[in-house]
């Protein structure tokens, strides 16, 4: 979850041109199958085991099979996430940051609300430990800080 995934389904024995179809199962959110190339790609936004039924057609031939995708959550240390909040871009990888954003508000960047979502998912805080107004104030502070950081970079 959070990492870019790319893998191509392969078939042999056809005419060389293959058309793929997903005939059953559910693709994890964030991933998609390119019907012309068999490429499964994207960034998974949910974990679990996903069994897909696929069919490939080439000329007069066809074949069916199942593909199992296992999506796992990265194992992160609380201390690393806190340090990353204090020094963004230093501690966690881009994939780990993306994972935290996915379980948070999925707005494309890591923020204090994503950290809160992580704490809730891990059972480290109750769902209602912070009133919504406080969370909004923290997120506004985070946005302001990012704006200030961008201005400094622009100098």
DSSP lists the bridge partners of residue 84 as: none
For Ca ion, the closer CB: 18 or 116 = 116
Which CA distances in Å does 102 have to 20, 43, 46?
Answer: 29, 10, 9
> Among 45, 96, 97, 114, which residue interacts with Ca ion (rule: CB under 5 A)?
114
For Ca ion, the closer CB: 56 or 130 = 130
**DSSP state, residue 27:** P
For Ca ion, the closer CB: 107 or 145 = 107
139 lies in the binding site for Ca ion (CB under 5 A): no
Largest CA distance in the chain: 63
> Among 107, 129, 141, 145, which residue interacts with Ca ion (rule: CB under 5 A)?
107
- The kind and range of the H/E element at 115 are helix 112-121
Residues of the shown chain interacting with Ca ion in the complex, contacts defined by CB under 5 A: 101, 104-105, 107, 111, 114
């Amino acid at each position: 979850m959070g990492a870019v995934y790319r893998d191509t389904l392969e078939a042999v024995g056809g005419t060389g041109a293959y058309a793929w179809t997903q005939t059953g199962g559910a693709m994890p959110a964030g991933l998609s199958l390119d019907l012309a190339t068999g490429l499964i790609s994207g960034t998974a936004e949910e974990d679990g085991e996903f069994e897909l039924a696929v069919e490939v057609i080439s000329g007069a031939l066809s074949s069916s099979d199942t593909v199992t995708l296992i999506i796992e959550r990265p194992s992160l240390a609380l201390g690393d996430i806190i340090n990353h909040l204090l020094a963004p871009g230093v501690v966690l990888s881009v994939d780990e940051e993306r994972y935290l954003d996915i379980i948070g508000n999925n707005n494309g960047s890591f923020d204090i609300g994503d950290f809160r979502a992580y704490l809730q998912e891990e059972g480290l805080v109750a769902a209602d430990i912070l009133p919504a107004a406080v969370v909004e104030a923290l997120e506004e502070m985070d946005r302001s800080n990012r704006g200030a950081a961008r201005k400094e970079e622009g100098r």
